[in-house]
Amino acid sequence: MSLNLRGTWSIFTRELMRFLRTAFQSVLAPVLTTSLYFIVFGAAIGGRMPALGGVDYAAFIIPGLVMLTLLGETTSNASFGIYMPRFTGTIYELLSAPVGVAETLIGFVGAAAAKSLILAAIILTTARLFVPYHIAHPFLAVVYIMLVAASFSLFGFILGVWADSFEKLGIIPVLFLTPLTFLGGTFYSIDMLPKPWSTVALFNPIVYLVSGLRWTFYGQADVHFGISLGITFVFLAVCVTVISIIFKTGWRLRD
């Protein structure tokens, strides 16, 4: 059975246009936030911090800042994208249209991933204004960012199906995802933590995501890149499985 490319493209462009319609907010917010992080952590604190693994502190936090914005924005965009059709009732038009699960996921997840790549490019461009940096493995960096974006787009899709109110829509990103990202080595290496906290930090899944992206930048990380990549693939597979069950059973989609 071939994909309905026109249906997939329609979902993709609709979601991407929604992002572009709020481009002022979607673009300005990451730029301002990233700038403030560099002013506070890069200039004020970074000047007193030693180089970590031979990498200047201001440059060291760049992968963490990219991941911080990537996880939050990707999850929020994907969850809002599927929640609004449920909220307005237009989800039934989507369910009755000649598009399958694959087309729906490719459209929604592809758009969310595209938005994330745009945001990552904006953050990296903004970072260049504050500190020189290099990317040791640019191809792997792009692939890894896309993999993480796809995974958390799927996670956001699940969140948007699960939520039955705008309040619930923000619970996971605000109360769990953002704190875990801050505690996931965004602004430090977990090797800097005393025992037993350095061991406890390994139970935070965000540590592996930040560590994986940092390795693509500087060739060094708290956790082996293979482990980070493997955990990301496992999370991706779990999300795909959950979504396939949601579409198969119609949970919260046809209610």
Domain boundaries, the chain: 5-249
Residue 52 phi, psi dihedral angles, 5° rounding: -105, 110
Summarize the confidence of residues 54-66 as an average pLDDT.
88
The separation between CA 11 and the C-alpha centre of its own chain, rounded to angstroms, equals: 20
Q: What percent of the chain has pLDDT over 70?
A: 96
Question: pLDDT tens digits, residue range 235-244?
Answer: 999 998 998 8
The contacts of residue 153 (CB under 8 Å, 6+ apart) are 74, 75, 77, 78, 108, 109, 112, 113, 116
Distance CA 92, CA 194 (A): 53
Summarize the confidence of residues 85-111 as an average pLDDT.
78
Q: What is the pLDDT of residue 151?
A: 92
Q: What is the pLDDT of residue 208?
A: 95
Residue 1 has pLDDT above 60, yes or no: no
Q: Which of 1-15, 110-124, 141-155 has the highest mean pLDDT?
A: 141-155
Residue 140 has pLDDT above 90, yes or no: yes
Distance CA 41, CA 124 (A): 16
pLDDT band (50, 70, 90) for residue 216: very high
Q: Encoding tokens for residue 219?
A: 């060739």
Please tell me the pTM assigned to this model: 0.88
Residue 147 has pLDDT above 70, yes or no: yes
CB-CB contact of 68 with 44 (8 Å): no
Question: Alpha helices, DSSP H only, in 89-100?
Answer: 91-96
Three-state secondary-structure class, residue 219: coil
Summarize the confidence of residues 78-97 as an average pLDDT.
80
CB-CB contact of 70 with 210 (8 Å): no
The chain-wide mean pLDDT, for the chain, equals: 85
The contacts of residue 68 (CB under 8 Å, 6+ apart) are 178, 181, 182, 186
Q: Which of 66-80, 179-193, 220-234 has the highest mean pLDDT?
A: 220-234
Distance CA 75, CA 149 (A): 9
Q: What is the pLDDT of residue 231?
A: 95
Distance CA 126, CA 253 (A): 40
Closest of 71, 80, 246 to residue 176, by C-alpha: 71
Q: What is the pLDDT of residue 182?
A: 84
Lowest mean pLDDT segment, chosen from 2-6, 79-83, 242-246? 2-6
Residue 255 has pLDDT above 70, yes or no: no
Q: What is the pLDDT of residue 63?
A: 93
27 or 142: which leads in pLDDT: 142
Distance CA 152, CA 149 (A): 5
Question: pLDDT tens digits, residue range 12-51?
Answer: 888 888 777 776 776 777 778 878 887 787 767 766 777 7
Residues pairing with 55 in the sheet: 52
